Structure 1
Amino acid sequence: MLAFRFRTKLTVVYLALFLAVMGIILLAFYRSVTTNVEDQTRDQLAASARVFERIVNYRVRTLGESVTALAQDYGFREALGTDDKPTVISALQNQARRLEADMAVITDIDGNPIAALLDGEATTAMPMISDDLKQMAERNGVASRMVSVDGRIFELVLTAVRAPVPIAWVAFGVELDKATAQDIKGLSPIELEIGFLYRAEGQQYQVASATSHADALSDFLKTSQPTDEAFRATFMNQEHMFRHLSLVSGDDGNEISALLYYSMDTALAPYDPLVITMVTVLVLSLLLLIAGSVVVARGVTKPLTNLASAARQIAEGRYEEVETESRGDEVADLTSSFNQMISAVKEREKQITFQAYHDPETGLRNRLMFDKMIQQEIDQSDSFVLVIAEVQQLPELRTVLNHQNINDLIKGVARRIEKVADTEVARVSTEAFGFLVRDAEDAETRASLVLNSFMTPFDVADIVIDASVKLGLVKFPGDGEDGATLLRHGQAALDKGRGAPRGVAWYDPDRDSSQKARLSMMSELRGGLKNGEVKFAYQPKLDLESGKITAVEALIRWISPSRGFVPPDDFIPMAERTGDIRHVTDWALRQAIMQAADWRARGLNLAVAVNLSTNDLMNQNLPAQILALLREHDLPAEFLKLEVTESAVMHDMARALDVLNMLSAMGLALSIDDYGTGYSSLSYIKKLPVGEIKIDKSFVLNLAKSDEDNILVRSTIELGHNLGLSVTAEGVEDEDSIGRLREYGCDVVQGYHIARPLPPAELEEFLKESEYGPA
């Protein structure tokens, strides 16, 4: 299509150039011919006008001589003198016949008519003989003038009859009729047309006679006004050249004239053979040009067609070089450059394809390649097993090995799995590999071989490294119909395999369903935080020295419309694993600070304690977030307490210390929650900027009955005080326990014996009625 369009365009350009040149030539030819013909016609009309004038003058002289001879005839003068009218009329008739005159007139010296003939017959219609004409005849002997009578034009010659003084006037006239016009036309070298016109004052021209088409000429004169110069106009659907000759123009406004005209079509007719010849040459040249341009365009566009075809093949992923028959020209250079481009594209696509399907750090097949391997296996096999293998020690090894050592280890792991499992392996994540086993019955055997192969340590950079692997297995098509589902279920199987005794597990749909249910719970939890399903219940904390409630602990409660009451132990651990705990923390901090600020504004000075998770201690932005909330609600830092567990601090003690130090610098009170259930050591507490430890309720619940718990609680209180920390006991449920804790020097207690966790309104009512209410 591209070549066809270019070929067509090239042909059209040739044709356009040719037609433009020929158009200029034809236009110049036409202008030259028409101008030449027009000039010639104008000259010929001028010449014909001169011929017309000479003919008129000749007829005037001839007629004048005959009139003078008649006027000098003795018998004629005698008949006039004796008033012999019959003789006079007879003489006029004889002379008119001899002269072929169409009119004869005799008047007395005063102009009164004596006799008049028209076409040889006596008539009363006679022209008006003006005084100036008579005067001219007296001076010159003969005078002539064109006159119109009843729509006819006559050439009138006048002379005086003397005996010896003027006694009468005699005139003869010859009509300017069609025959006269035809005679003049016959003397013209061209097919001249002549019309004789007359016009009375204020009226249009009338046609007296014409060589042809007198009626059409009359219609033409109704819309066209002749001028004394040559002019062009359309007459009888043809272009004509006209020349107007004014013959008589009297003082009375009457006018007699002649109109000479000639058809331009007739004038151009001799050039028709030349025009036909030129058109024939033009058509033949055009055909030859089309044929030649098609040949040339085909020769030019054929290489381009090949290049366009090669470009389409490149788009389809086929890279074939283009051959050309030309050498050393622009097309050959273009083809050579195109072939170089094809080679470069092939090499670049090879690199891109490799990078797309391989891990850039290790060169191993990546997740995208594994997806492709799965799809190919789905298309070709009825069943197979997908295996996900995860190396367990990589996070710890990254702290002691450099980046290159880790990459060497990963490549070593991949090679070992490939060798043992006898299949291709792909790296599907940072720590996991995937491979396929076509024989489902052989899958567990291969898995066992892989597990046993890791009993042999790896040697990386002269370092002996022990590593282990966990496996998850999933079947096709029973556990999934497509690659994405199989991989997702493979990860679920790997989760199960991490806790299996042998380190390998098959995909369990029931277990996966419960996992999905827990994930669904997280979605509902996020909605509950927004729509008010999640609230705080506040448990009072009793200061044993003052006997008053000085603080409360905010405990989260979730009442779901679909699940009912959801215990915190059901959703908090899941929120920590999924990362949704950040939403809970954001809500908890804002809610607790708003509540403490509200109580303080109403004169109830209660500090509110909020629990932080492991993820919260890893959040470097947490101090800034809390500071912004305190400023927003104008709450002093002393009214917010933050409680963290031992396990949360020990997860990454360096990062946790950074966050805790910033929080302590802000004036916030920090507590170690559930003390005694973790590492049970006070050595790390010396490093923490905390001011309180909370003894876990498991040691306090049976304080009145268990001597061991008494010893542990008492020693913990003493050690805490020795470190300068206050001590809070959780889970106090009887008065005896309070007495013992007071005896041991415990600072604060909380538990059901004091009060259960209460909503804000009930807590306020409790404080009003209780003996523990603030002073």
Structure 2
Amino acid sequence: MGVAAVRRRPAFLDLRRLQGRIVALFLGLLLVIQVANFGFVRYALDRQAERTLDGELDVGRGILTILLQQRAARKSAAVELLAQDYGFRSALGQGLTRDEDLATLRDALDNHGKRIGADLAAYFDVGGRMLAAEGAAIGLQVLKFASDEGNDLQLTVIEGQLYQLVQVPVRAPLVIGHVVMGFKLDRDLLEQLLTLTNVGSLIQLRGSGSVAPPLVVEDAQLAFLQQTDGSGVDRDALNLLDADEGRLRARWVTLLPANASAGTPEVRALLWVPYRLTLRSFKDLQLALIGLNVLGILAFAVGAVLTARRVSRPIQALARSAERLGEGDYEGPVTASSDLSEVQELAQSLEHMRLGIRDREREVQRLAFWDPLTGLPNRVQFLQRLQPLQPTGLLMLNLDRFKHVNDVLGRDVGDQLLQQVTQRLQGCVGDEALLARVGGDEFAIAVPGGEEAPAMDLARRVLEAFEDPMCLGAQTVDVGAAIGIALALRHAREPEGLVSRAEQAMHAAKRTQAGVKVYDDSLDDRSRASLGLLSELRQAVEHHELRLYLQPKLNLRSQRVEGAEALVRWQHPVRGLVPPGLFIPFAEQTGFIRELSRWMLIESLRFAVQARAQGEVLRISVNLSTRDLLDADLPGKIQAWLAAEGGDPSLLCLEITESAIMDDPARALATAKDLAQQGFKLSIDDFGTGYSSLAYLKQLPVRELKIDQSFVFGMEADEGDREIVRSTINLAHNLKKSVVAEGIETQGALDLLAAMGCDEAQGYFIAKPMPADQFLAWARARAQG
């Protein structure tokens, strides 16, 4: 349910899709920009509102000053009436010598003060001496007020109360004194300011001693005094928060500085303006901006969706083309459905990829089912075309001496040979049979019918076709073949089984040099027996069933035994003593020969070290197989075994065969040189039986040649064999190498070799191979005897 819902979601809402990511990116960037823009505008509006409110506070301060000045002017005019009153001046002019005169003066001050709303009244003579007073005692405070400079608002504090004083001279006609009247500040002044400017205010006396409560329009506004301590007086604006009006812009203004000498406190006013009235005009602008932003986002979202679809739909089409290519459909061309150059480039790349994959697929198909050299079906196609349960005779053919042609004449000549073989086979099989190349030099022929006679006839025709030599440029090559035959429904029912039976028959024909061999069950039994033998051989090393045998090597000059050839025997718990000819070939085929070589080298080293400890210095010869010689790590391994057994290279002679060198000359030569540099004596075994011994003799770092026993057996009776042996001895000595002859059966052969100058000899006449634990006793007995 959830997966279906996700799949039904529009592509531009799915962040896993390209459309969704493009829309999300565009809208995200726009939102960031719009939020930043809105924040900047809001900040600018706030700053502008603060500047506007600061201007209103400046205006309010000026209006407050003007109101105080106007109030002082009005009160001054009222007091002026008293000062100009004729009767008042006449009374003062007669002098105030009696108590009755002072009482009259006080009554005049009281009556006139009450008419104009004065809270106190006093008269001073020209010397500054107070003669009469009504209301609060003013004394020296009034004189101080009269002498203050800069007190243009005529404010003073008397007994903790703020008064605005008016001082008028009395002339008769000269100045004979001063009338001073004081008026308490009340809320009317603040209400006028609020009415005229919308600026709220309060007036506070700030200083030590007893002061009056703040003067405010409403008592609730006293809360402002708890929000500010007066910092920034007359300089900085403050942002306050009032529960009723919200955020306020406020400022402290000094009306009367403190007078320390007179002990009077500072008089200051707190002016404020609510933000809401000023921001009301900006809110419409903000709403308009928000509306424009919302419209812009919607328009941008629509544009982003359209753009994302314009970009993603051609890509989706190309993705479907890629899926088609992934499913193996390489025939339909890939085209672009958009005019965007990037999409067209992607489409062109996919089209080039389609063409390349199609061509390679065809080539892979050709290589997978056809042999590129001969043009014949390969093993895979051959097995596919062999129909199960269909009567078929199968011929498996393997060429003789093909590897030698490859190694001596080169692979190009070998390829030409395979092509000529293919032509001859095609001439023999006709159109009804199926011919295929199933291996390097192996061919398979499927003959309809499944009878033995037609298959044998075809095999004989093929062998007859190979009797004529093949001309490969300037080279003429004789090539033979071994053919194995297996019949469907008689030997196997499945194609793989039929091919396996034919290959077993082919190997049997090659081993026995019979030319043609039809499969029978005994071949399979022999194969199973060989596999069983190899399985047991793997356990023989672990169970210590192998035995080291040594065949002495006699020095023909000193007539002393100075070495021996190491041989292996298998003491099977059931089969008894198994000769090496039954298990060594299979070990070489499977690669297990390396384990046997390791065992031989370690056991030979161990014996040589023990013999040297007993006073007998012997060099043990150990055969290395083809796989051993192609192992680049062999020198290091032998060194490790030497170190483990406490031996040195002088205790071993490593025998290599020419066939081991011919399999991979470069690698074999490299390994042989490494062994020679480490001090091992190298010997060529079966010298003279190969094809290129002389060609490689000058390159190999060998110190010994071992004449094959086939020449030694017949040299007493055959002059040719005798000359071959003599020539080999002379050749070796001329090349500063020693010679060993094997296969000595008679005293005459031993005497002939000694006369020819042969260095060492071994054979049954001297001694048969014997267990290693009997060798030292035999050697000592021979030396004594």
Do Structure 1 and Structure 2 share a fold, with TM-score over 0.5? yes
Correspondence 1:362 to 2:377: no
User: Within 5 A, what are the aligned runs for 1:27-106?
Assistant: 29-30=41-42, 33-70=45-82, 82=99, 94-101=111-118, 103-106=119-122
Work out which of the residue numbers 202, 207, 217 in structure 2 matches 1:195: 202
Question: Residue 570 of structure 1 corresponds to which residue in structure 2?
Answer: 582
Q: Which amino acid aligns with 1:345?
A: I
Local SS of the residue matching 1:362: coil
Work out which of the residue numbers 260, 272, 277 in structure 2 matches 1:261: 272
Residues 617 and 649 of structure 1 are in contact (CA less than 8 Å); yes or no, is this contact kept in structure 2?
Answer: no
Question: Residue 242 of structure 1 corresponds to which residue in structure 2?
Answer: 250
Local SS of the residue matching 1:265: helix
CA change 1:625–1:149 in 2 (3 A) is same
**343-352 or 620-629: which moved more?**
620-629
CA change 1:654–1:168 in 2 (3 A) is closer
| Identity across the alignment (%) | 21
Work out which of the residue numbers 320, 328, 334 in structure 2 matches 1:317: 328
Separation of aligned partners in 1, 2:492 and 2:208: 118
Q: In the TM superposition, what is the alpha-carbon distance from 1:227 to its structure 2 partner?
A: 2.3
Question: Residue 770 of structure 2 corresponds to which residue in structure 1?
Answer: 757
CA change 1:64–1:454 in 2 (3 A) is same
Separation of aligned partners in 2, 1:157 and 1:598: 141
Residues 472 and 492 of structure 1 are in contact (CA less than 8 Å); yes or no, is this contact kept in structure 2?
Answer: no
Separation of aligned partners in 2, 1:287 and 1:729: 104
Question: Residue 234 of structure 2 corresponds to which residue in structure 1?
Answer: 228
Work out which of the residue numbers 319, 325, 347 in structure 2 matches 1:308: 319
Local SS of the residue matching 2:362: helix
Question: Residue 654 of structure 1 corresponds to which residue in structure 2?
Answer: 692
Q: In the TM superposition, what is the alpha-carbon distance from 1:54 to its structure 2 partner?
A: 1.2
Residues 153 and 208 of structure 1 are in contact (CA less than 8 Å); yes or no, is this contact kept in structure 2?
Answer: no
Local SS of the residue matching 1:430: coil
Q: In the TM superposition, what is the alpha-carbon distance from 1:42 to its structure 2 partner?
A: 2.4
Q: Which amino acid aligns with 2:99?
A: T
Question: Residue 441 of structure 2 corresponds to which residue in structure 1?
Answer: 431
User: Within 5 A, what are the aligned runs for 1:530-541?
Assistant: 534=546, 536-538=548-550
Separation of aligned partners in 2, 1:577 and 1:653: 22
Q: In the TM superposition, what is the alpha-carbon distance from 1:487 to its structure 2 partner?
A: 7.2
Residues 421 and 446 of structure 1 are in contact (CA less than 8 Å); yes or no, is this contact kept in structure 2?
Answer: no
Q: In the TM superposition, what is the alpha-carbon distance from 1:201 to its structure 2 partner?
A: 4.4
Correspondence 1:184 to 2:190: no
Question: Residue 278 of structure 1 corresponds to which residue in structure 2?
Answer: 289
Q: In the TM superposition, what is the alpha-carbon distance from 1:369 to its structure 2 partner?
A: 5.4
Question: Residue 708 of structure 1 corresponds to which residue in structure 2?
Answer: none
Question: Residue 741 of structure 1 corresponds to which residue in structure 2?
Answer: none
User: Within 5 A, what are the aligned runs for 1:197-212?
Assistant: 197-201=204-208, 207-210=214-217
Question: Residue 339 of structure 1 corresponds to which residue in structure 2?
Answer: 351
Residues 389 and 493 of structure 2 are in contact (CA less than 8 Å); yes or no, is this contact kept in structure 1?
Answer: no
Work out which of the residue numbers 251, 261, 265 in structure 1 matches 2:259: 251
Local SS of the residue matching 1:221: coil
Question: Residue 144 of structure 2 corresponds to which residue in structure 1?
Answer: 132
Correspondence 1:685 to 2:725: yes
CA change 1:275–1:657 in 2 (3 A) is closer
Q: Per-residue CA shift, 1:662-696, capped at 9, x if unaligned?
A: 57x62x47454476669986154344347454446
Q: Per-residue CA shift, 1:294-326, capped at 9, x if unaligned?
A: 123212322122122222332333333234445
Separation of aligned partners in 2, 1:385 and 1:201: 131
**45-54 or 547-556: which moved more?**
547-556
CA change 1:566–1:294 in 2 (3 A) is same
Question: Residue 484 of structure 2 corresponds to which residue in structure 1?
Answer: 471
Question: Residue 707 of structure 1 corresponds to which residue in structure 2?
Answer: none
Separation of aligned partners in 2, 1:477 and 1:265: 110
Separation of aligned partners in 1, 2:423 and 2:759: 54
CA change 1:629–1:250 in 2 (3 A) is closer
Separation of aligned partners in 2, 1:482 and 1:273: 92
Q: Which amino acid aligns with 1:157?
A: V
Q: In the TM superposition, what is the alpha-carbon distance from 1:257 to its structure 2 partner?
A: 1.2
Q: Which amino acid aligns with 1:266?
A: L
Q: Which amino acid aligns with 1:505?
A: Y
Question: Residue 120 of structure 1 corresponds to which residue in structure 2?
Answer: none
**286-295 or 541-550: which moved more?**
541-550
Q: Which amino acid aligns with 1:233?
A: N
Q: In the TM superposition, what is the alpha-carbon distance from 1:474 to its structure 2 partner?
A: 9.3
Local SS of the residue matching 1:42: helix
Correspondence 1:156 to 2:165: yes
Alpha-carbon RMSD across the aligned residues, in angstroms, is 5.3
Q: Which amino acid aligns with 2:354?
A: I
Residues 472 and 506 of structure 1 are in contact (CA less than 8 Å); yes or no, is this contact kept in structure 2?
Answer: no
Separation of aligned partners in 2, 1:477 and 1:27: 94
Q: Per-residue CA shift, 1:708-730, capped at 9, x if unaligned?
A: xxxxx577567656755589684
Q: In the TM superposition, what is the alpha-carbon distance from 1:82 to its structure 2 partner?
A: 3.4
**279-288 or 196-205: which moved more?**
196-205
Correspondence 1:604 to 2:616: yes
Residues 123 and 131 of structure 2 are in contact (CA less than 8 Å); yes or no, is this contact kept in structure 1?
Answer: yes
Separation of aligned partners in 2, 1:763 and 1:312: 77
Q: Per-residue CA shift, 1:196-230, capped at 9, x if unaligned?
A: 122104999974324674132122124x6232124
Separation of aligned partners in 1, 2:699 and 2:124: 154
Question: Residue 287 of structure 1 corresponds to which residue in structure 2?
Answer: 298
Separation of aligned partners in 2, 1:434 and 1:159: 145
Residues 485 and 505 of structure 2 are in contact (CA less than 8 Å); yes or no, is this contact kept in structure 1?
Answer: yes
Separation of aligned partners in 2, 1:387 and 1:25: 88
- Unmatched segments (≥5 aa) in structure 2: 1-10, 627-655, 662-666, 733-738
Correspondence 1:298 to 2:309: yes
Question: Residue 8 of structure 1 corresponds to which residue in structure 2?
Answer: 20
CA change 1:39–1:468 in 2 (3 A) is same
Local SS of the residue matching 2:277: helix
Work out which of the residue numbers 507, 517, 526 in structure 2 matches 1:503: 517
Separation of aligned partners in 2, 1:284 and 1:184: 45
Question: Residue 651 of structure 2 corresponds to which residue in structure 1?
Answer: none
CA change 1:267–1:604 in 2 (3 A) is same
CA change 1:773–1:130 in 2 (3 A) is farther
Q: Which amino acid aligns with 1:503?
A: K
CA change 1:618–1:660 in 2 (3 A) is farther
Separation of aligned partners in 1, 2:52 and 2:509: 115
Q: Per-residue CA shift, 1:722-774, capped at 9, x if unaligned?
A: 75558968446xxxxxxxxxxxxxxxx325xxxx82535x5445566x4x335
Q: In the TM superposition, what is the alpha-carbon distance from 1:335 to its structure 2 partner?
A: 3.2
Q: In the TM superposition, what is the alpha-carbon distance from 1:654 to its structure 2 partner?
A: 2.1
- Unmatched segments (≥5 aa) in structure 1: 118-123, 698-712, 733-748
Separation of aligned partners in 2, 1:449 and 1:174: 149
Residues 141 and 158 of structure 2 are in contact (CA less than 8 Å); yes or no, is this contact kept in structure 1?
Answer: no
Residues 588 and 610 of structure 1 are in contact (CA less than 8 Å); yes or no, is this contact kept in structure 2?
Answer: yes
Question: Residue 742 of structure 1 corresponds to which residue in structure 2?
Answer: none
Local SS of the residue matching 1:512: helix
Q: In the TM superposition, what is the alpha-carbon distance from 1:269 to its structure 2 partner?
A: 0.9
Q: In the TM superposition, what is the alpha-carbon distance from 1:430 to its structure 2 partner?
A: 0.5
Q: In the TM superposition, what is the alpha-carbon distance from 1:656 to its structure 2 partner?
A: 7.6
Question: Residue 745 of structure 1 corresponds to which residue in structure 2?
Answer: none
Separation of aligned partners in 2, 1:312 and 1:327: 22
Q: In the TM superposition, what is the alpha-carbon distance from 1:59 to its structure 2 partner?
A: 0.5
CA change 1:427–1:19 in 2 (3 A) is same
Residues 470 and 497 of structure 1 are in contact (CA less than 8 Å); yes or no, is this contact kept in structure 2?
Answer: yes
Separation of aligned partners in 2, 1:443 and 1:498: 23
